[in-house]
Amino acid sequence: MTTRVLLLLAALAVAGCAGARVNVTANRARYPLSLSPVVRDASGRPYDARTLLKVGWLDVRKTTPGFVYSALTIPPTRDFSDEINAQIAAAGGEAVVGLTISSAGGCGWLNGFPVLNALPIWPGCVPVRLTGDIVRRRNTFP
């Protein structure tokens, strides 16, 4: 019993946490980015899977480190615009639909590293991934 209590106390003494939080922006994107399957043209007409043609797949990932138990993230904001613009232009697309923003995988081992994550200087991280379908209108396909 005493051994168990001592083990628990020792574990609590080296308990720690790590992680990061980041603001995600696409403020310089040159194309519409929609989380739904729908996007409009300038007249307000909606386009969906029936009137859009998929020409590519968007996949952008960025991992941002954090310190002091996730209180300090460097940089605090990550802009995905340049990568998005490049991938859409390369695919000859006009928009992204079905955009999904996820934050999972890749940082668990770092954020949960035993003992060392009790130190405020131990880095955590947050992985952010944007995926979606690069599309263009069917009636404008060259």
Nearer of residues 25 and 90 to another protein, judged by Cβ: 25
Degrees, nearest 5: CA angle 32-34-40: 60
Nearer of residues 56 and 70 to another protein, judged by Cβ: 70
To another protein, the closest distance from the beta carbon of 138 in angstroms equals 12
Q: How far apart are CA 36 and CA 46, in angstroms?
A: 12
Nearer of residues 102 and 120 to another protein, judged by Cβ: 102
- Residues forming the site for another protein (CB under 8 A): 7-8, 11-12, 14-48, 70, 81, 84, 94-95, 98-104, 107-108, 111-115, 117, 124-128, 137
